[in-house]
């Protein structure tokens, strides 16, 4: 018999995943989708421990961990409280019902925190939701849950992924070109960075590092791997055919391919500002081994990709929170930036350059979509045109 969603469930309390108590009949020990006859790669005997094994992979990246825990926790509570089924018994049809639930979590008094407030996880008024999820937030939730289910299948805990059919349809329908920030949303991201605390030395260093990182990602269209894998010794200066000195950044990128990216006056200004804060000379020397981006308080250690991703993601989340605070009219913008990632900035850079009428061949070379030919060293006039167009038409315009 279906459970009336308006009545409280005696089977499970609504509590965070670290404290929730789920009866044996709903804990997944005998889930209908449990793998049988295989040798499991994890020791988990129930759904909560299986989820925790998956989450442990992201423990070093707080933002990712928090987001992934939130989505797994919501599904766990809905499945056991609302549906009276363990996660390891969910079907494709169940997850279609869950998607409708995310758009309108009812009853609201059970699932949504009151008065738009956000209570701590240990607070008795904590709830899994702050409100209904927008379409983009629903998509992001299912992307994360698909990652969870796929991993549990690979780990030998589940027999199959109930989201696999939905995933195949979604991939065909969702165009990748949408993963960029429009001009108004990009402006909001910059305002978030400008509003970062600057009172203490550590605050100021964190602010200038974030500003420098976003300048690199946007003005140069770099990948995160290129930010953490290259050094400031890649900057060099040479004269163009008119005798003007132009700065460039040599990048070893994907597939160990090398390209040179125009280092515009804006970028070099941001570099000098960041280096002065670190106690360095404004401009680097060609032999420098100092990383492009540094941990707080050091001058020589590379940051990890996870740490840089988390830094970017935090800015997007802070931007989303600012927009949500303005009211319902900004909900769609807030939802869009909330699901953005560092790679969106690369797409944003390419989109904004193309829309500013930068020659598409120059955009291609700036982003490194094709390898630099062996004759590129002789094509200085072509390089100079690329630098000139990038300088004139692709600007970050910090306030």
Which positions ≥6 away from 137 have C-beta within 8 Å?
102, 335, 338, 339
- Give the tens place of pLDDT for each residue, 90-107: 999 999 999 999 999 999
Number of H helices, E strands in the chain: 15, 3
Domains of the chain: 24-174 (no CATH), 183-393 (1.10.443.10)
Shortest CA distance to 67 belongs to which of 353, 386, 369, 339?
339
Length of the chain in terms of residues written: 399
pLDDT of 287-332, one tens digit each?
A: 899 999 999 988 788 999 999 999 999 999 999 999 999 988 888 8
Tell me, what's the pLDDT at 350? 83
State how far the Cα of 76 lies from the Cα of 27, in Å rounded to an integer: 10
Distance CA 98, CA 228 (A): 39
Predicted confidence at residue 338, as pLDDT, reads: 92
Mean pLDDT by runs of 10 across the 399 residues of the chain is 39 76 89 85 92 90 87 94 94 94 92 85 90 89 91 92 67 51 91 95 96 95 92 93 91 87 94 95 92 89 92 95 90 90 86 75 71 32 70 86
Q: Please, what is the Cα angle at 359 between 357 and 364, to 5 degrees?
A: 120
Tell me what pLDDT residue 312 has. 95
**Quick one: pLDDT at residue 370?**
55
| CA dist., res. 124 & res. 119, Å (int) | 8
Instruction: Please check whether residue 200 is in contact with residue 252, taking contact to mean a CB–CB distance below 8 angstroms.
Output: no
Whole-number Å distance between alpha carbons of 344 and 274: 23
The pTM of the full predicted model, rounded to 2 decimals, is: 0.52
């Amino acid at each position: 018999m279906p459970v009336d969603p308006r009545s409280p469930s005696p089977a499970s309390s609504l509590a965070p995943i670290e404290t929730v108590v789920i009866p044996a009949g709903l804990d997944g020990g005998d889930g209908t989708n449990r793998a049988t006859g295989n040798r499991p790669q994890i020791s988990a005997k129930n759904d909560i421990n299986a989820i925790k094994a998956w989450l442990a992979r992201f423990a070093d990246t707080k933002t990712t961990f928090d987001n992934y825990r939130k989505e797994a926790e919501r599904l766990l509570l809905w499945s056991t409280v609302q549906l009276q089924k363990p996660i390891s018994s969910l079907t494709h049809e169940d997850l279609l019902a869950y998607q409708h639930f995310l758009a309108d979590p009812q009853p609201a008094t059970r699932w949504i925190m009151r008065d738009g407030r956000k209570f701590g996880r240990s607070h008795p008024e904590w709830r899994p939701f702050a409100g209904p999820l927008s379409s983009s937030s629903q998509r992001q939730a299912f992307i994360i849950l698909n990652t969870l289910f796929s991993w549990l299948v690979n780990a030998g805990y589940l027999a199959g992924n109930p989201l696999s059919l939905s995933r195949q349809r979604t991939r065909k329908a969702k165009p990748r070109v949408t993963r960029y920030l429009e001009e108004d949303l990009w402006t909001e991201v910059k305002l978030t960075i400008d509003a970062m605390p600057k009172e203490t030395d550590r605050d100021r260093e964190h602010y200038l590092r974030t500003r420098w990182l976003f300048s690199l990602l946007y003005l140069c269209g770099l990948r995160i791997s290129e930010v953490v894998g290259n050094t400031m010794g890649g900057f060099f200066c040479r004269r163009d055919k008119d005798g003007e000195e132009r700065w460039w950044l040599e990048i070893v990128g994907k597939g160990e391919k090398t390209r040179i990216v125009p280092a515009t006056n804006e970028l070099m200004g941001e570099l000098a500002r960041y280096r002065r804060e670190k106690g360095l000379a404004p401009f680097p020397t060609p032999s420098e081994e100092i990383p492009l981006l540094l941990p707080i308080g050091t001058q020589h250690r590379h940051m990890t990709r996870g740490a840089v991703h988390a830094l970017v993601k935090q800015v997007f989340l802070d931007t989303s929170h600012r927009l949500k605070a303005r009211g319902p009219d900004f909900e769609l913008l807030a939802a869009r930036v909330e699901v953005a990632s560092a790679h969106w900035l690369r797409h944003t850079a390419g989109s904004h350059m193309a829309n500013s009428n930068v020659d598409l061949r120059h955009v291609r070379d700036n982003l490194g979509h094709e390898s630099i030919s062996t004759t590129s060293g002789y094509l200085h006039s072509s390089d100079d045109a690329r630098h000139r167009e990038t300088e004139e038409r692709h600007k970050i315009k910090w306030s």
